[in-house]
Structure 1
Amino acid sequence: MSDLAEREWRLIRDDPREGPLQMAVEEIAARTALEDDRRTVRVYSWEPSTLSLGYRQEPETVDWEYCERNGIDVTRRQTGGGGIYHDSYADISYTIVAPAAEVPGDLMDCYELFCEPILEGLRRMGVDADFASAEQSSIYQPSCYLRDINPAHDVVAPASAGADAKKISGNAQYRQRDVVIQHGSISYDLESDHHVGVFETDLETDTFDERVTSIRDEVGIERDAAVDALATALAEWCGAEEGTWRSSELEAARELADRKFGSDAWIRNREVLEAEEH
């Protein structure tokens, strides 16, 4: 348990939701952390399966026809990095939201703190996971899982394989209204065809399989058990009580999803944020 447990936290075992709404509720959770002094950790999934683009990712890197043909939604994150295909079954995602004043100001120190429960959750599943021990060069920059592997925030398995370990989780942070928001994707299973297919590239799926591993490949446990292990580790890390979104939060999140995260202006050009900034 970290020192953060001295404050009020809630754990949300969230319902599957569409991509724009999943991004919107994080910003609403940031508002709740500041205005109501209530912090949030959550685990969640995506329905339908969704490609989340990194903040500065060019829309030309997306195979839009492939996504439409396969019923894959597309949204854009506030965090940088490459796009991530979040399969409705094969991906397990999480969020941590806390006031910036309560966590380390140094980005690397904050990553180390916020990834503690992620690593603990993986270990409880039986996965030999840790931060990457060495950098690995990029294979395909537009894809989060095929970008260069950074020991500061990329988690690999089995950790005992050293430089030969494969990526199992990508994690990213941003600050919103004096709040730190970290979210991440953990591979429960591999859907290599979609991970490659959503991008405008000729990469073979074998290339993805050589770089990425999954919980199922490493230890073979059921998805529900993996989700529970992660949720429990998050709750114990900050002393969170089981909770839910308030109806007012979901209403605000739906409005934000419609206005921003689900709009072509944001997804293709980031125009909504740029208008707000100016």
Structure 2
Amino acid sequence: MTALADREWRLIRDDPREGALQMAIEEVAARTALEDGIRTVRVYDWDPSTLSLGYRQDADTVDWDYCDREGIDVTRRQTGGGGIYHDHRADISYSIVAPADEVPGDLMDCYALFCEPIIEAFERMGVDADFAAAEQDAIYHPSCYLRDIHPAHDVVAPAEEGANARKISGNAQYRQRDVVIQHGSISYDLEPAHHVGVFDTTVDESTFTNRVTSIREQAGIDREEAVETLADALSDWCDATESKWREDELAAARDLADRKFGADAWIRDREVLEASER
């Protein structure tokens, strides 16, 4: 933590944005970290609500008619794993972006470091949460929250031994251009109908609620307080300065969202369009 605080970090309490732009912004932040030496922590949400597919996820697992009918966008992440329904109210998301040579090279050690402020935020909220103590088998593989629970990067609550621990946060990492990007989804509240409805499956809503819990259920605080607590914990972790995106970063992110994260070629087939193909 001391070494991190010696670097230049910024905290961005981001505006609500569409999913494609939120994913594009992370790649632009990676470029900024590498070229300008500015590292980023941020909190954000998705508006409209969005299903983010895992990098290698089969697009045929999506109920496209349901998403269209319910006004749910679809994008594809750079990270692996199953799809996540990000509700514009019930989900709180964060990301951490830093040069790879400044953080542990071992994936598990890097997860442990980058999840420190997430665990700290839960403690400040009054949520008894920690990394899963043991693996739990997958229930429905296409859904991140119903996949196997892994002690390395899945956070559950309550954390005490012997409790009925349910998933409250999923976290994932990828490395691009010598930069590490970690992002995560934290459940403020539950929207089980949409979490299972976005997939082409007959999984029952109760299956989701039996597996997943939320900040609201565990601590009863309002969403604004939860968001502020998470942002403060991220800022304290790396001694970040409050900031906003530069205009050139937003312009680059909009271009990338058009060519990649918002393009059907990427969402369906992981193909990135050239500027001339838009």
Q: Which runs of 4+ in 1 moved over 4 A?
A: none
Q: Deviations over 1:207-262 (max 9, x none)?
A: 00000000000011000000000000000000101000000000000000000000
User: Shift of the alpha carbon at 1:164?
Assistant: 2.5
1:134 is matched by which residue type in structure 2? Answer: A
- The residue that corresponds to 1:192 in the other structure is 192
- The residue that corresponds to 2:65 in the other structure is 65
The answer on 1:12 being equivalent to 2:12 is: yes
- Preserved contact between residue 40 and residue 98 of structure 1 (Cα < 8 Å): yes
Specify the SS of the correspondent of 1:148: coil
- Preserved contact between residue 138 and residue 146 of structure 2 (Cα < 8 Å): yes
The answer on 1:85 being equivalent to 2:85 is: yes
Give the whole-Å Cα distance in 2 for the aligned partners of 1:78 and 1:43.
18
Give the whole-Å Cα distance in 2 for the aligned partners of 1:134 and 1:163.
12
- The residue that corresponds to 2:110 in the other structure is 110
1:170 is matched by which residue type in structure 2? Answer: G
Give the whole-Å Cα distance in 2 for the aligned partners of 1:65 and 1:5.
47
Q: Alpha carbon RMSD of aligned pairs, Å?
A: 1.1
Q: Which structure 2 residues correspond to residues 203-222 of structure 1 after superposition, within 5 A? A: 203-222=203-222
TM-score, with length taken from structure 1: 0.97
The answer on 1:234 being equivalent to 2:234 is: yes
The answer on 1:130 being equivalent to 2:147 is: no
- Preserved contact between residue 259 and residue 273 of structure 2 (Cα < 8 Å): no
- The residue that corresponds to 2:165 in the other structure is 165
Give the whole-Å Cα distance in 2 for the aligned partners of 1:97 and 1:134.
28
User: Shift of the alpha carbon at 1:271?
Assistant: 1.4
Aligned residues: 274
Unaligned runs of 5+ in 1: none
Give the whole-Å Cα distance in 2 for the aligned partners of 1:73 and 1:163.
36
Moved more, 133-142 or 158-167: 158-167
- Preserved contact between residue 134 and residue 162 of structure 1 (Cα < 8 Å): no
User: Shift of the alpha carbon at 1:3?
Assistant: 2.2
Q: Deviations over 1:114-157 (max 9, x none)?
A: 00000000110000000000100000000000000000000000
- Preserved contact between residue 42 and residue 95 of structure 1 (Cα < 8 Å): yes
Give the whole-Å Cα distance in 2 for the aligned partners of 1:30 and 1:143.
27
- Preserved contact between residue 166 and residue 210 of structure 1 (Cα < 8 Å): yes
Give the whole-Å Cα distance in 2 for the aligned partners of 1:192 and 1:123.
25
Identity, in percent, stands at: 76
The answer on 1:43 being equivalent to 2:40 is: no
